[in-house]
Chains A and B, each alone.
Chain A
Amino acid sequence: MRDRLLKGIMEKIPYTKLNGHPEKRLPGNINVSFHFIEGESLLLLLDHYGICASTGSACSSGSLDPSHVLMAIGLPHEIAHGSLRLSLGDLNKEEDVDYVLDVLPQIVQRLRDMSPLYESFIKEGGK
């Protein structure tokens, strides 16, 4: 189920980076970074659509810094700020994966459409 979710995210959302090893990771864990957007706004929108997730920026814990682990594995700030952690448990169903794969790409695009980083990226020809 995790693999289907991860594959779907990577296929449906361009400019996404998988953080960590593709296979050598906890079974229910996904950690990805979406370029050009910031994690807290992503979480707020996911929460609005009933999807519980976590981010490296840990805004609500009082720290505004991106994940020190993602920084330590060499991610630049702007990529670490756009990280998202999704954890699947034994209560999750295949429908949940379908739902996330339906909603998440729309949310990411909505934030990218608002992002000056994405705007510059597109203007520079998407390089």
Chain B
Amino acid sequence: MTSNSIDQRRIVRLDKERTHNIHSTDFPGNYPGENLEWNLDSFKQACSIDINSVTNEDCEFDLIGVDPSIANALRRVMIAEVPAIAVENVFVFNNTSVMHDEVMAHRLGLVPILFDANRLEHFEKGDNPNDQNTIVFTLQVECKRKSNVAPGETNPDKLYENHKVYARHFSWVPQGAQESDPIFTQNPPRVAYPDILITKLRPGQALDLELHCVKGVGQDHAKFSPAATATYRLLPTVKLHKPIKSEHAELFRSCFADGVVDVREDENGNKQPYYVNPRKDTVSREVLRHAEFDGIVELGRIRDHFIFNVETTGSVQPVDMLPRSCAVMKNKIAAIRDGLNVIVHGKQDEEEEGQEGQDEDMQE
């Protein structure tokens, strides 16, 4: 159950009161005689991904062999820069509910909308809404008294019709070409969770709203963030310098969370603990508190083994989060490269390139 085979440089060691070997050292010049230059082929060898579980709400995958700066960039992009669709403008034609227009608009903005954001253009400041950049829903609900109610009835469900406004009352209104576009008609825009309660009404109160949804990023407003949570942690390890004594086996097991360590008994009645599932380890460091294990146990985490846990609001499928984050990163890199080209070659070159492009089009 030792992890001696793992390169010591890959382990962040956890002591009673402090952590050791925290920083990445895989840079050229750090270790004499070693070539730690960036190399795509060796990265391809070292990097691996394991997908552990996938549902409509969350997914867990391991990203192995990358630097923390890369894993953290992906996590940050998932939270703040993967685009999603949300209600941005609410036009209130009638609102006689007790909820103020602006509070209502804020609540409506937070309802996750299920539609592929890649299919919609960005709505920039000053743009006019059109069928390429805006999805329109209406929310028209009127509360009425039910007939034939027993006298003395106090249950609002029995007394009133439509007294609860839910996200399921959103109804999509196709705009322009959206009506015949298979992207829209085969999988029409809808709310991710129909049971979200938006407000309550009483007889005589009504809502008549038009909701304009646009594409945006979490950086701008949290309602655009598809990530409910996006976290990673490092895979825990335990290293033993000596075998655990039989009489300490049960104590050793009890130092870890359930399912991390189990105890095996051989034919002579000797108990020997063995590692079952390091993922379940909470790294409580309880084992370091016992004198019995002094100098025997070394706790650590693997520096480049990231266990990602991504939950989404439903506006983007959890499995799509990593590829989309990579795509966002590549776009950012391309934007910086374009900017650098402008510094290096000046603006004129860019214009010339543009003209060349036009010529090609003309020839076609």
User: Are these two chains actual partners, yes or no?
Assistant: no
Interface residue ranges, B against A (CB under 8 Å)? none
